[in-house]
Amino acid sequence: MSFGTIKRRRTDILFSQYLRKKRGYVCEKCGRKHEENSKGFGVSHFWGRAKESVRFDEENCDVLCNIPCHQYFETHHTEYEIWKKERLGEKQYKLLTLRAWLPGKRDDKLTMLWLKKVEL
């Protein structure tokens, strides 16, 4: 999967490493196990970059194979929504949606402090 011209900040990279490790390097859609530094495995954000209030919200993120799982959800958002609701439950899904629509900017300094405290 190509990320084109999307600029990945240091916090994006560290958060991705943290979440993939925390979730055991296993695709949450298909169950495939990946190596720690696999290029074919990453973090999918249900609510994208425009919703900075949930950029580092673990409930907004899923670890997925880039192909086919992440690619599939990128082109089949209705299926991603159904899958996400099943994973979170209706109440948590609604709360995530509410958090996504709240105004807010990501705070890279605060995120870096948090990421330094968790074991990468």
pLDDT digits (tens, 9 = 90+) for 70-79: 999 999 999 9
Backbone torsions φ then ψ of 93, nearest 5 degrees:
-60, -45
Tell me what pLDDT residue 61 has. 98
What one-character DSSP code corresponds to residue 57? -
Distance CA 106, CA 15 (A): 13
Question: How much is the pLDDT for 2?
Answer: 47
Look up residue 51 and give its DSSP letter. -
Q: Which tokens hold the place of 35?
A: 């190596």
pLDDT at 120 over 90: no
Looking at residues 13-30, what average pLDDT do you find? Answer: 97
Could you give the 3-state DSSP secondary structure of residue 98? Answer: helix
Residue among 59, 53, 56 nearest 85 (CA):
59
User: Is the pLDDT reported for residue 56 higher than 60?
Assistant: yes
The residue among 22 and 105 whose pLDDT is bigger is: 22
Number of H helices, E strands in the chain: 5, 2
Whole-number pLDDT of residue 6 = 75
Q: How far apart are CA 43 and CA 27, in angstroms?
A: 10
What CA–CA distance (Å, rounded) separates 23 from 88? Answer: 15
Question: In the predicted model, what is the mean pLDDT of residues 24-29?
Answer: 98
Question: Would you give the DSSP letter of residue 59?
Answer: G
